[in-house]
Every structure is written in structure tokens, then in C-alpha cells.
Amino acid sequence: MEGPSEINSVFWNEEKKSWDYKLIKVEEYFGFTECQQCRKPMSHNIKTDGEFKMVYVKCACADRK
């Protein structure tokens, strides 16, 4: 499956008490889960550093106030 080579994942930074971003390199891409509201990807299923992971991203709802 075609996918991005990098994902700007979002995660909760407990120390900063705020959302933070981390660029994650994608070795293999398996697809995503879409947001029920905006139908944009919410999380991606990927392989990075030889590990299978689900990484979260901000969907379009997060930009709406």
C-alpha cells in the first residue's frame, strides 16, 4: 500500500502538559483509521524501526475551534 514516507505524529507530552509532535519515519505503510466526523486520518498503521506501531495525527477537527 502506498503511503507517506514520514508522519508528523501527535502525542500528549506529560511534562509540558500539552500536545507535541514527532516526525516518524515510515518503513512500511498499512493504512489508517479515519475520524468519524471529518473522515480524515486519525491514526496510521505503520512499521518503524522494525516495529509495528499505530501513530496518531491530528485530523481536520483539531484545527476547528
Please list every residue from 30 through 59 that binds Zn ion, using CB under 5 A: 35, 37-38, 59
* DSSP run (H or E) holding 26: none
| CB closer to Zn ion, 13 vs 37 | 37
Q: Which is nearer to Zn ion, 26 or 35 (CB)?
A: 35
User: Minimum Å distance from CB 3 to Zn ion?
Assistant: 19
Residue 8: CA count within 13 A, CB half-sphere: 5
Residue carrying C-alpha cell 522494525:
50
Q: What gap in Å lies between CA 49 and CA 21, rounded to an integer?
A: 18
Binding site for Zn ion (CB under 5 A): 35, 37-38, 59, 61
